[in-house]
Amino acid sequence: MLKVEHLKKIYPKSDRVAVDDISFELRPGEIFGFLGQNGAGKSTTIKCLTGILPFDSGTIEICGYDIVKEPIKAKMNMGYVPDNHSVYEKLTGREYVNFVADLYKVPTELRRKRIKEFAEKFKLEAAMDRQIAGYSHGMKQKICIMAALIHEPKLWVLDEPMMGLDPQSTAEIIAHMREHCAKGNTVFFSSHNLDLVKKLCHRVAIVNNGHLVDLFDLAGNEANKANLEEKFFRITGTYERRLFEDYAAQESEDMRPDLPAHDDDASLNGDKPAEE
């Protein structure tokens, strides 16, 4: 579904390698988590595999198509949801999704059916004919997802998809990620939410300073799930700091003064205690 081999990316006028010799392969029917701190190389890797950024060496294949040699065929098998809502906000939601459907050559009747299904699923029926500029953060995220999936891609790529979403919107997107995966497709997403990754992902990779440091199974492996936080903090060099923060928080909690007795509650509320 997705095959990345020895990917390397250096930004112009930088002496730092943003992505250094990263290799991994995604299987059909899996949800794959991509973890790392800010600046670790997650978004750079995603922008390389989606064709947004050129890269210095290595190869990327999507459904067997090389992203450099056959970019159109590769991108026809992929849907991408960025972390910054890159949409034409003067269009209505329906106009924008139809515009993307035109790019992917989705037949008229098929797109109408899919737009109706997505609008109902994401509760956007009343908003589809309104200008995107007036949408909330969650609504913009949902319209981006609709556009990314309008052509039923084999590979669905998301960069921090749950950032800033309310619980209901998060639940709706998670449900569709699972549904997309159940059809034999693949979901690849980056996240800082380790609890979400544990619940959702079949496998996970952790990157640090441009290197892929570890890749392991989560589905069916309770030990890896239980140790995910420790693995992540050790790899990113924040394990000791995290322990210190947890210890300091507990110390602070232990040193908090006891709450006033009930006899003093009235005075705390601005009332005078009853006279004897």
Q: What is the pLDDT of residue 158?
A: 93
Q: What percent of the chain has pLDDT over 70?
A: 86
Q: What is the mean pLDDT of residues 105-125?
A: 94
Q: Is the pLDDT of residue 250 over 70?
A: no
Q: What is the mean pLDDT of residues 26-39?
A: 94
Are the beta carbons of 128 and 114 closer than 8 angstroms? Answer: no
Element (H, E) at 213: strand 211-217
Band the pLDDT of 124: cuts 50, 70, 90.
Answer: very high
Determine the 3-state secondary structure of 135 from DSSP. Answer: coil
Enumerate residues 6+ apart whose C-beta is below 8 A from 31. 177, 178, 181, 186, 187, 189, 200, 201, 202
Q: What is the pLDDT of residue 258?
A: 55
User: What tokens appear for 85 in the block?
Assistant: 């809502």
Q: Is the pLDDT of residue 81 over 80?
A: yes
Band the pLDDT of 263: cuts 50, 70, 90.
Answer: very low
Band the pLDDT of 252: cuts 50, 70, 90.
Answer: low
Are the beta carbons of 42 and 188 closer than 8 angstroms? Answer: no
Q: What is the mean pLDDT of residues 222-246?
A: 78
Q: Tens of pLDDT along 163-198? A: 777 888 888 889 989 999 999 999 999 998 899 999
Q: Is the pLDDT of residue 243 over 90?
A: no
CA angle 126/107/189 to nearest 5° reads 65
The residue to which tokens 């294949």 are assigned: 61
Strand bridging mode 57-62 / 65-66: antiparallel
Q: What is the mean pLDDT of residues 37-43?
A: 91
Look at 109 and 192; give whichever has higher pLDDT: 109
Class of domain 1-77+157-164+193-256: alpha beta
Q: What is the mean pLDDT of residues 97-108?
A: 96
Q: What is the mean pLDDT of residues 32-50?
A: 94
Q: What strands lie across the sheet with 186-190, from one edge to the other?
A: 78-81, 155-159, 186-190, 31-35, 203-208, 211-217
